[in-house]
Amino acid sequence: MLHPTTKKMDQFLLIIFLKVLLVSCNMNPDPLSEKAVHGTITPANPYKQIKYIPLPEGYNRTVENTMSFAGYLRNIGLKESTTVHLF
């Protein structure tokens, strides 16, 4: 048999745990539903690789070997979809 003080402490800890759990849970099941834009068409990405993205006016790309890390990054393929998912 548990000591009465131990039983009360267990109940107290259980209540604290449940309160923390309820406060930390998001009560809104779909937070993006209010912000969602319906009926819009997402255009396709016009740039197939990073190197095709235009630079701001006055900037130039440095010349890099295609076997370097910079060359690798410039040749990474980009996805066609421009959809941004907010998680």
pLDDT tens readout for residues 12-23: 888 988 887 777
Give the whole-angstrom CA distance, residue 47 versus residue 80: 8
Give the whole-angstrom CA distance, residue 35 versus residue 31: 8
Its pTM surpasses 0.75: no
**Percentage of residues of the chain with pLDDT beyond 70:** 76
- pLDDT-derived band at 35, boundaries 50, 70, 90: low
pLDDT of residue 46: 87
* Tokens, residue 81: 């979809």
- What would the DSSP string read from start to end of 16-84? HHHHHHHHHS-S-S-TTTTT---S--PPBPS-SBGGGSPPPTT--PPP--TTSHHHHHHT-B--SB---
